[in-house]
Amino acid sequence: MCRHLGWLGDPVSVASLVSEPANGLLVQSYAPRRQKHGLMNADGWGVGFFSSDVPDGTPRRWRSATPLWGDASFASVAPALRGGCIVAAVRSASIGMPIEASASAPFTDGQWLLSHNGLVDRAALPLSPHAESTNDSALLAALIFDRGIDRLADTIAEVAAADPAARLNILAANGSRMVATTWGDTLSVLSRADGTVLASEPYDDDPRWRELPDRHLISVDGASDVELIPLKGP
């Protein structure tokens, strides 16, 4: 239960995607328009981005356990943070899950940034020494990283078989590619002249936004080539 967003294209500021749009993640943290589960996302947030200023291609992250609307430091710095590939999320923690910065997306294996919008029974997920926290999203991220992003469709199908009630919207990016799934929650795409946005819900009323169908794998390559592949599962 969260809202997330991914960008692939020309370098843009984090603020232009998260805090400046009329219904960006900042607004979605307290007044989401299309969220099916939960009323707000006040249990943390995170932003990760790839920048040409980092020669080894390692993603940079900024995560917090506090509400996004209360972080004045982020508000002042976000316009200066730029990247051609960005993943950001605001979090609504499930009952019993820890509220800590390490439980907020995006998670990383050093090459990919990954966010999970949904819910999954932790009993359906293996324990992993690579998990950044003990919440369901961190365990799921560790499983996906351990299995490999190229096996994302199979991993989602297996987790869904183990927990038929799971909601498994994934958004991942590695600097040159974005991959996402729709499984139980919303995801929309906006194709702009300078790149592509994937988001749990549109950040403005641009008529070019398209809602993507449920139970699909979405692949974005080259900032504009969007491919949809049906997912198999129970």
More confident residue, 233 or 195: 195
| Predicted confidence (pLDDT) at residue 32 exceeds the cutoff of 70 | yes
Mean pLDDT in residue range 59-83: 95
Site of tokens 């080894």? 56
- Are 6 and 178 in contact by the 8 Å Cβ rule? The answer is yes
| Predicted confidence (pLDDT) at residue 1 exceeds the cutoff of 70 | no
Give the pLDDT band (50/70/90) at residue 76.
Answer: very high
pTM equals 0.95
- For the stretch 145-169, pLDDT in tens is 999 999 999 999 999 999 999 999 9
Task: Calculate the average pLDDT of the chain.
Answer: 94
In total, how many domains does the chain have? Answer: 1
User: How distant, in Å, are the alpha carbons of 62, 81, 102, 112, 130 from that of 57?
Assistant: 16, 16, 21, 10, 20
Q: What is the pLDDT of residue 35?
A: 85
Mean pLDDT in residue range 157-185: 97
Question: What amino acid occupies position 37?
Answer: H
Burial class (CB in 10 A: 0-12, 13-18, 19+), 126: exposed
Give the pLDDT band (50/70/90) at residue 191.
Answer: very high
Give the pLDDT band (50/70/90) at residue 223.
Answer: low
- For the stretch 45-55, pLDDT in tens is 999 999 877 76
| Residues acting as catalytic residues | 2
Mean pLDDT in residue range 203-229: 93
| Predicted confidence (pLDDT) at residue 89 exceeds the cutoff of 70 | yes
Residue 115 and residue 170: Cα distance in Å, rounded? Answer: 6
SS (H, E, C) the chain: CEEEEEEEEEEEEHHHHHCCCCCCHHHHCCCCCCCCCCCCCCCCEEEEEECCCCCCCCCEEEEECCCHHHCHHHHHHHHHCEEEEEEEEEECCCCCCCCCHHHCCCEECCCCEEEEEEECCHHHCCCCCCCCCCCHHHHHHHHHHHHCHHHHHHHHHHHHHHCCCCEEEEEEECCCEEEEEECCCCCEEEEECCEEEEECCCCCCCCCCEECCCCEEEEEECCCEEEEEECCCC
What residues contact 193, with CB distance under 8 A and at least 6 apart? none
Number of alpha carbons in the 13 Å side-chain half-sphere of residue 147:
19
Q: What is the pLDDT of residue 51?
A: 82
Name the least confident of 26-30, 93-97, 211-215: 93-97
Give the CATH number, domain containing residue 37: 3.60.20.10
Domain range for residue 29?
A: 2-230
